[in-house]
Copies of this chain bind each other. A is one copy, B any other.
Amino acid sequence: MTQRDHILLAHGGGGQLTAELVAEVILPAIGGQDATALTDAAEVAWGGARVVFTTDSYVVQPLEFAGGDIGKLAVCGTVNDLAVAAAKPVALSMSLVLEEGLEIELLRRVLASGGEAARRAGVTIVTGDTKVIDRRGEPGMTINTAGIGAPLPGGRVGFRHVGAGDAIILTGPLGLHGLAVMCRRKGLSIASSLESDCQAIHELTAALLKALGPRVHWMRDPTRGGLAATLVDLARATGRNVEIHQRAIPTDPPATGAAEMLGLDLLNVANEGRLVAVVEAAAAEQAVNILATHEAAPAPVIIGNMGEATDMPLVEMVTAAGGRRIVQMPYGEDLPRIC
């Protein structure tokens, strides 16, 4: 089995290998799609209106972890994809692939959790599907949620709106989701207070757009591949350097400890309840103040700025010690099956 001929776990990591698989295999094979297909939420004209449409499959193991479970994750993750596309989440589909032998009580728990997350987010699960496949070791399940949302008035976000000097805002500490799943998987008790940040962030994006309209230039939830993948993507797609300050990034001591113990870089670890927003510099303080009124943004801060356009755009981090470090796209998979 070679890396070039067969799928590797690392192809699912949300980093360089995932991007190459999508760009070099998946999109060309499907054919006739534009380059953004199969990556982000898509906007479809609908009569006089528009539909924002997105999908994600969730394969997290274990199915339950501190702060969440696959049901809550599947709802919040797709709600968040709509939210960062400047849409109001309206309806979700939910498609279950269950493995033979799965405990029905466990199924009930994760679905109840997903249903509760949907009610809190104000979306309705309107259609679904259930399949069963043969078991594979400990019986598991995967959930696909697709979602449709309505573009928010005043929302106009996208890479092309990002300019030099724009502020980059982050809403809280990094890595809580990935580390909570990993600690549960490895049976680590080092970080008993560590909980996934799994939550819906649509109220954050709606509040920013309502107050600031087109002064909000771009938004993303830094999931697989973490903040590093999000910012490298931002730099490449805008053709601009990105500078962030390590000291500015909010920290969570249990997460920092767990990352050290597991040898992981918090920048690369998946989050499921954080927002990265790029806003006009002059609106940045106001944006932080707006976010600070919401529980879903525990520590909103400006972590850096967009730089000038360049042929070789880079993400640089000014380290706590005052040095500079280049932040790279994670290559493969530090943490398989994290979302």
Contacts and interface: CB of A to CB of B under 8 A. Distances in A.
Interface of A: 1, 4-13, 18, 21-22, 25-26, 29-33, 37-42, 44, 46-49, 51, 53-59, 90-91, 93-105, 107-109, 111-112, 114-116, 118-119, 124-134, 136, 139, 142, 144, 146, 148, 150, 333, 336-337
Given A46-B49, A51-B51, A111 B29 contact: yes
Contacts of A56: 95, 129
A59 B133 contact: yes
Contact of A130 (B22, B127, B129, B139): B22
B101 A59 contact: no
Interface of A is mostly: mixed
Contact of A127 (B9, B53, B139): B53
B127 A336 contact: no
B107 A7 contact: yes
A26 B111 CA distance: 7
Contacts of A26: 96, 107, 111, 128, 130
Given A33-B126, A133-B336, 8 more contacts: A6-B104, A9-B133, A25-B107, A26-B130, A30-B118, A47-B47, A55-B95, A57-B96
Contact of A93 (B54, B94, B119): B54
Contacts of A96: 26, 57
Sorted from nearest, which 7 A-B pairs have the closest CB atoms?
Answer: A12-B132, A38-B128, A146-B146, A55-B93, A42-B126, A29-B111, A30-B115
B47 A48 contact: yes
B128 A39 contact: yes
Given A30-B125, A98-B7, A98-B11, A144 B111 contact: no
Contacts of A148: 44, 51, 53, 148
Contacts of A144: 55, 57, 95, 144, 146
10 contacts: A8-B132, A9-B100, A37-B126, A37-B128, A42-B126, A55-B93, A55-B144, A57-B96, A131-B337, A144-B144
A224 to B, nearest CB: 9
Residue among A13, A108, A118, A127 facing the most chain B CB atoms (10 A cut-off): A127
A155 B1 CA distance: 52
Contacts of A4: 104
Nearest to A107: B25
A49 B33 CA distance: 26
B101 A1 contact: yes
Given A47-B48, A55-B144, A38 B5 contact: no
A109 B134 CA distance: 24
Contacts of A39: 127-128
A162 to B, nearest CB: 21
A115 B26 CA distance: 10
B130 A11 contact: yes
Nearest to A124: B33
A30 B100 contact: no
A178 B139 CA distance: 26
A59 B131 contact: yes
A115 B57 contact: no
